[in-house]
Amino acid sequence: MNALVFLIPAALALGLAGLVAFVWSLKSGQFDDLDGAAERILDDEDD
């Protein structure tokens, strides 16, 4: 029973961290151009 006191908040915190990370990636425009990202990785020339 005592384990629950830590485990449930821990599970929730991990889930929330995932959610926050997703919201951040959405806000920072990482989902704006999925096709472009797939192509850009092929471009290996640095300049």
Partner 1 sequence: MNLTIRHDQAVNVDAVPASPAHKTPFVRELPDGLSRLHLMVDNIHCAGCIRKIEKALHDTPGVARARVNLSTRRLVVDWTPSAIRARDLIDIVTELGFPAAPFDPDAFGTKDETAERRLLLSMAVAGFAAANVMLLSVSVWSGHDGSMGVATRDLFHWISALIALPAIVYAGQPFFRSAWAALSRRQLNMDVPISLAVVLAAGMSLYQTAVSGQHAYFDAAVGLLFFLLIGRYLDQRARTKARSAAQHLIRLTATGANILMQDGTVRSVAVNDLSPGMTMVVAAGERLAADGLVTKGRSAVDNSLMTGESMPVDIGPEDRVYAGTINLTAPIEVRIEAAGDDSLLAEIVRLVEAAEQGRARYVRIADRVARIYAPAVHVLAAIAFVGWLIAGADWMTALMTAVAVLIITCPCALGLAVPTAQTVASGLLMRHGVLLKSGDGLERLAATDVCVFDKTGTLTLGRPELVNRDAIDAEDLAISAALARRSRHPLCQALANAAGVQTGRTVTDISELSGRGIEGVVDGETINLGSAAWLGVDRGQHPPHSVEDDGCSEVWMVRDGRPSVVFRFRDTLRPDARATVEQLRGMGIAVRILSGDRRNIVDSFAAQIGIDPADCEAESLPAAKAEQVRALTDAGHKVLMVGDGLNDAPALAEGYASMSPATAANVSQTAADVIFQGESLMAVADTINLARATNRTVIQNFGLAFTYNLFAVPLAMAGVVTPLFAAIAMSGSSIVVVANSLRLGLLKWGKRS
Q: Give contact residues for partner 1 (rule: CB under 8 A).
A: 1, 4, 8, 11-12, 15-16, 18-19, 22-23, 26, 31-36, 39-40, 42-43, 45, 47
Question: Considering the complex, what minimum distance in angstroms separates the CB of residue 19 from partner 1?
Answer: 4
Q: Which is nearer to partner 1, 6 or 36 (CB)?
A: 36
Residues in contact with 8: Cβ distance below 8 Å, sequence separation at least 6, in sequence order: none
Q: Is 41 exposed, middle or buried (0-12, 13-18, 19+ CB in 10 A)?
A: exposed
Question: Considering the complex, what minimum distance in angstroms separates the CB of residue 6 from partner 1?
Answer: 14
Rg (CA), the chain: 18
